[in-house]
Amino acid sequence: MFDRKLLAVEVAGRHIRAAVVTKKGKGLEILDFSQVDRPDPEDDLPAIEAIKTLATRMDYTSGPAVYVTSLARAVEISMNRKKVSKMKHYQLMEAVKWEVEPYTGVTGMQALIGAKKEDKAAADPGMVPEPDETDITVNVSVLERNIYRAIKERFKVAGFKLARIYPPEVCFYMPVFIEEFEAPRAILDIGQDYSNFAILKGERPALINTLPVSMEAIIDHLTGNPSGELESTLKFTARQVPEPMPLIISGPGAGDRRIVDYISSLCANGAEPIALKKAAGLTGAGDDSLNAVYATVAGAGIRELKSKKERLTGINDVEPLVPRLKKSAYLMPLIVTVLLITFLFGHFQYMRWQESSFKSRITRLSAELQEKKARNAKYDEAKKELEDLKKEIDFTKNKIAFITGRADEDIVQVINFFRDLAGSIPETVILEKLIQKDTLEYELAGLSFDLSSVGGFATRMQKKRWCESVVIKSLKKADKGGLQFEFLVKTRMVSE
């Protein structure tokens, strides 16, 4: 399987951040991340030169890219479960597009969306599954078409192909999925303007909330201007963190020790900043917590590469295949007719050329065949003479060896080996295979019920005069218990 790599870019606060994420097999890695100051704080779109600078810094000069922006809105829409279950994905997107205006202010004509049906959560062990509800939640990402085109053009000028745009609300928790975890986890992303909170169970978020709590508001609360409403909101959020794991903190707020300590004091199991490590995924809190600001941009890359299902929440302007085919349906008969005529004419010409080519080739190959048959007959005759000569030489060598006594020495050597081997096998070892690879080399395999017996067996053989070396080729746990081992025993000729 080929490795996939892409660039993720985010504009947030005073900075433009980027990360390069790769997928190797089923594993995901964050190769690098970096940030630069925004050239124009009033411009909500990514600066072309900033994209180029970040990509060059991370040695990613061209290829696919994704973008994270708060201009893209994430909303949840309830729809009839029965109707949604009968829809294809492109039909669901078309239906949802006309429902987003009350939530986002973007009209259906101007809206580009991504939509993903919310999976039904499995019941916890020992709990009775809840009955199916009449409505289903659809997670929808929305962005104005004109904004998407402007962003796409900037990435194109910078030398990259924009694959999708994601809202921050669907990306900030994705780095947690780099490592597998069994117990539910919770993550709080503290941003410059607001915060996002999510509870993760398995491979999906069970809860996502946006909180009216910013990094500056928390610092202001801690430095002499306390806010009861802010503290109440954070305490309520802290009570939702599932035990026994600590709350994970990401975003700019994770880099401020005062905020981390304060949030930790509100949580029953404490809190710790998410620590992103380049080319190694998540690590412990010993890493620089300032890297937590890259959680959202890295999360966008992880979502894009993780699976086709995760990409459904992303926004792009590619029209689904089925509607495209329907729009050009009136041209299909003409296109099919032209293709058929072209194919038949080409096939006729090709068959005529093949016939002429095959005839000339048959004539040439027939002559070559006769010539090769004559050469092969001479070769076979010489080969037979060589084999007869080898057999005669081997026979003569065996006779000489027998006369000089070497044959007797070989027999004595084999007898000594098998006699001493039988006496060296421990009681807890079962010898399953013995192969003589050549005159002085044997391969043994068997089963032992403890590790010491394997070492003892090898040591006993090494003490024999005829033993030159014992090499343990493999030692592994057997399917039915015990240890499966393989030895390579090299012997030497010894005189009596």
Return the higher-pLDDT residue of 287 and 222: 222
As a whole-number percent, the residues of the chain with pLDDT over 70 amount to: 90
Parallel, antiparallel, or unpaired for β 135-144 and 275-277? Answer: unpaired
- pLDDT of 115 strictly over 80: yes
User: Of 165, 160, 172, 171, which Cα lies nearest the Cα of 315?
Assistant: 165
Q: What is the dihedral of CA 297, 300, 305, 308, to 10 degrees?
A: 180
Sequence spans of domains, the chain: 4-325, 332-404, 411-491
- Residue 325's pLDDT band, with cuts at 50, 70 and 90, is low
Average pLDDT for 377-388? 88
User: Of 235, 300, 295, 240, which Cα lies nearest the Cα of 74?
Assistant: 300
- pLDDT of 122 strictly over 60: no
As a whole-number percent, the residues of the chain with pLDDT over 90 amount to: 30
Residue partners of 89: CB distance under 8 A and separation at least 6: 115, 312, 320
Please provide residue 172's backbone torsions phi and psi, each rounded to the nearest 5 degrees.
Answer: -60, -25
Average pLDDT for 50-57? 93
Residue in this structure with the two tokens 């402007």, named with its chain if needed: 150
Degrees, nearest 5: CA angle 38-40-44 = 85
Residue 453: the pLDDT is 85
Return the higher-pLDDT residue of 491 and 329: 491
Residue 283: the pLDDT is 45
Residue 124: the pLDDT is 53
Looking at the chain, how many residues does it have?
Answer: 496
Residue 475: the pLDDT is 86
Degrees, nearest 5: CA angle 138-191-204 = 35
Residue 125: the pLDDT is 52
**DSSP calls for 125-153:** TTSPPPPPPSEEEEEEEEEEHHHHHHHHH
Query: How confident is the model over 236-287, as pLDDT tens digits?
Result: 999 999 988 899 999 888 888 999 999 999 999 999 998 788 874 444 444 4
Query: How confident is the model over 296-324, as pLDDT tens digits?
Result: 999 999 999 988 888 999 999 887 766 66
Return the higher-pLDDT residue of 285 and 459: 459
Average pLDDT for 114-137? 66
CATH number of 4-325: 3.30.420.380
Query: How confident is the model over 337-351, as pLDDT tens digits?
Result: 888 899 988 988 989
- pLDDT-wise least confident of 94-108, 127-141, 223-237: 127-141
Q: Which two tokens stand for residue 292?
A: 């937590």
Residue in this structure with the two tokens 């429902």, named with its chain if needed: 99
Give the side-chain half-sphere CA count within 13 A for 289.
Answer: 21
At residue 226, the 3 state secondary structure works out as coil
Query: How confident is the model over 424-452, as pLDDT tens digits?
Result: 888 888 888 888 888 788 898 998 888 88
Average pLDDT for 159-177? 92
Segment of 2-6, 62-66, 199-203, 225-229 carrying the highest mean pLDDT = 62-66
In which region does residue 272 sit, left (phi positive, over 0), alpha (psi from -120 to 50) or beta (all else)?
beta
At the topology level, CATH places domain 411-491 in: Gyrase A; domain 2 (3.30.1360)
At residue 350, the 3 state secondary structure works out as helix
Q: Which two tokens stand for residue 289?
A: 């917590």
Residue 404: the pLDDT is 66
